[in-house]
Copies of this chain bind each other. A is one copy, B any other.
Amino acid sequence: MSHSRDTDAFSPHDHRRCIRTAIAEAERICLEHNSRLTPQRQAVLELIWSSHKPVGAYALLEQLRELGHNGQPPTVYRALDFLLQHGLIHRIESLNAYTGCRHPGEHHTGQFLICSQCQQVAELDDPSLGSRIEDSAARHGFVADSQVIEIRGTCPQCQQQDSHEPR
């Protein structure tokens, strides 16, 4: 019953649907785990999902304050920890920033396409790529637990714009 369609984050789409789906999935997963999606945690999750650009913890903190929530670093880091542990968001290591997970619930390490131009991030979920990497590690006798895959480049939209505005 997973609704996670494979619409690319880069392609134009009804993003409110992304948000709604993310919240709904979060509620479902928290129910399953007997965890509580408190107002603060939900607020952070919604802020993260406000776009497909990863957000830093302190940017989130700023926005939380504007929403009238309490504003100290531990507040936001606790919410982030919770969301990370429940697989609702990912941390982008090369950006020190956080982005919503598109396939929550299915334990997985993310594979990310990061556009250097528009800052947007799309999450790949290519299991065969994952196992290809495991194989590569295994060939050196290494047992892989988790992977950080972050690919920087140019997204389709930004490529088009580039070709329209040469020079």
A contact set with B: CB distance below 8 Å: 8, 10, 93-94, 111, 113, 115-116, 122, 124, 126, 129, 132-133, 136-137, 140-156, 159
Given A137-B113, A140-B113, A140-B124, A145-B150 contact (CB < 8 Å): no
Contact present for A141 and B153 (CB under 8 Å): no
Contact present for A136 and B141 (CB under 8 Å): no
Q: How far is the CA of A142 from the CA of B153 in the complex (A)?
A: 7
Contact present for A129 and B124 (CB under 8 Å): no
Q: How far is the CA of A136 from the CA of B128 in the complex (A)?
A: 10
Contact present for A140 and B8 (CB under 8 Å): yes
Q: How far is the CA of A156 from the CA of B140 in the complex (A)?
A: 8
Residues on B with beta carbons closer than 8 Å to the beta carbon of A126: 136
